[in-house]
């Protein structure tokens, strides 16, 4: 089983050791890299992450089955939904793997974690992978102040922003798509922003009869602020697949908090109880 590393704030080490790694607020999953023969490649994101103001990062090392599905790709490109083993082979075959990342759309359980280690804090690149190249400016406000001549064009050249699809465009793609992996990727993309559209437009996906799609759907509905969201998630709470019910319960708690807790407890569902216990432990 491959070893992966997630970079975390050193101050969260004790909590992670006890409770595992959970996606942060507003994030779509756990970012990580495989542990390869190159220490630099595996830990390349450290300096860039330190720009957020965290003083010291640690490496959280864990194992997952190589058949685990992950989202993989470079940070400024579309990510593919592929197996972990395939993603690792892709990294090893790349001439330039800087900027590559993996995203796992579930919590990493404490029992899956092997170790937490201190790391050298000057590891990796900042701003963008090629920023160290001679003659290439970086796009930070210090090097390219706003308002400076041609600053905007240079910034767009150095850090091109991929075109983001609107929700109607994503919905149209999902309606036409037959490939289940592609549908899961589109649902993952939907989770990237808060939505005010009617989530009922996605419920036709239940007809696909896929547990994997239902799991992604339960997570995607967690970003919808609409009067029909609760009823859509309630349908997913009745699915036979445990992980789908867990994801639906997590989305309900994320959206409605305490007011939803009492209702979920009435369901007497072991899978939902696990989510409730975890949710309550994190509030302490």
Point out the residues of the chain with pLDDT beneath 50. Answer: 134-136, 149
User: Are the CB atoms for 125 and 47 separated by under 8 Å?
Assistant: yes
**What's the number of domains the chain is made of?**
3
18-44 burial: b if 16+ Cβ within 10 Å, else e: ebbbbbeeeebbbbbbbbbeeeebbbb
Q: Do 73 and 179 share a domain, yes or no?
A: no
138/131 Cα distance (integer angstroms): 6
Which of 257, 254, 234, 258 shows the shortest CA–CA distance to 244? Answer: 234
Q: Do 148 and 171 share a domain, yes or no?
A: no
What predicted TM-score, i.e. pTM, was given to this entire model?
Answer: 0.56
Q: Do 223 and 244 share a domain, yes or no?
A: yes
How many other CB atoms are found less than 10 A from the CB of residue 213? Answer: 21
**Is 71 a domain residue?**
yes
- Predicted confidence (pLDDT) per residue in 35-81, tens digit: 988 889 999 999 888 877 788 899 999 999 999 999 999 988 889 99
114/32 Cα distance (integer angstroms): 14
- Predicted confidence (pLDDT) per residue in 201-213, tens digit: 999 999 999 998 9
**Is 205 a domain residue?**
yes
**Which residues pair with residue 57 across a beta bridge?**
9
**Is 111 a domain residue?**
yes
Q: Can you give the CATH number for the domain in which 48 is found?
A: 3.20.170.30
The side-by-side arrangement of strands in the sheet containing 3-9 is 80-83, 69-74, 100-104, 30-34, 3-9, 57-63, 113-118
236 Cβ contact partners less than 8 Å away, ≥ 6 residues apart: 214, 217, 218, 221, 244, 245, 247, 248
**Is 273 a domain residue?**
yes
41/33 Cα distance (integer angstroms): 8
Burial label for 185, CB within 10 Å (0-12, 13-18, 19+), is buried
Q: Do 271 and 175 share a domain, yes or no?
A: yes
**Is 23 a domain residue?**
yes
Domain containing residue 13 = 3-118
Q: Do 157 and 259 share a domain, yes or no?
A: no
Q: Do 25 and 108 share a domain, yes or no?
A: yes
Range list of H helices, 110-196: 151-158, 167-176, 180-190
Predicted local confidence at residue 160, as pLDDT:
62
Q: Do 278 and 203 share a domain, yes or no?
A: yes
Q: Do 102 and 174 share a domain, yes or no?
A: no
**Is 127 a domain residue?**
no
**Is 9 a domain residue?**
yes
Q: Do 156 and 241 share a domain, yes or no?
A: no
């Amino acid at each position: 089983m491959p070893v992966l590393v997630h970079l975390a704030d050193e101050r969260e080490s004790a909590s992670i050791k006890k409770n595992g790694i959970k996606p942060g607020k507003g994030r779509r999953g756990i970012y990580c890299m495989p542990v390869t023969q190159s220490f630099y490649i595996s830990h390349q994101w450290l300096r860039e992450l330190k720009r957020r103001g965290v003083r010291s990062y640690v490496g959280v090392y864990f194992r997952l089955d190589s058949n685990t599905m992950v989202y993989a790709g470079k940070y400024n490109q579309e990510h593919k939904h592929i197996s972990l083993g395939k993603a690792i082979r892709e990294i090893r075959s790349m001439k330039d793997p800087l900027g590559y990342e993996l995203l796992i759309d579930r919590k990493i359980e404490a029992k899956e974690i092997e170790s937490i280690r201190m790391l050298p804090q000057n590891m990796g690149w900042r701003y963008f992978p090629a920023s160290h190249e001679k003659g290439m400016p970086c796009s930070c406000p210090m090097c390219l102040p706003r308002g400076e001549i041609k600053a905007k064009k240079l910034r767009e050249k150095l850090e091109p922003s991929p075109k983001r699809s609107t929700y109607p465009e994503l919905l149209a793609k999902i309606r036409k798509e037959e490939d289940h992996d592609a549908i899961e990727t589109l649902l993952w993309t939907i989770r990237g922003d808060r939505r005010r559209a009617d989530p009922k437009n996605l419920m036709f996906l239940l007809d696909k009869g896929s547990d994997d799609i239902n799991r992604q759907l339960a997570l995607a509905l967690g970003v919808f602020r609409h009067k029909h969201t609760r009823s859509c998630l309630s349908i997913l709470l009745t699915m036979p697949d445990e992980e789908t019910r867990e994801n639906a319960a997590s989305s309900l708690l994320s959206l409605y908090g305490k007011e939803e807790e009492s209702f979920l407890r009435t369901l007497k569902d072991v899978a939902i109880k696990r989510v409730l216990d975890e949710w309550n432990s994190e509030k302490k």
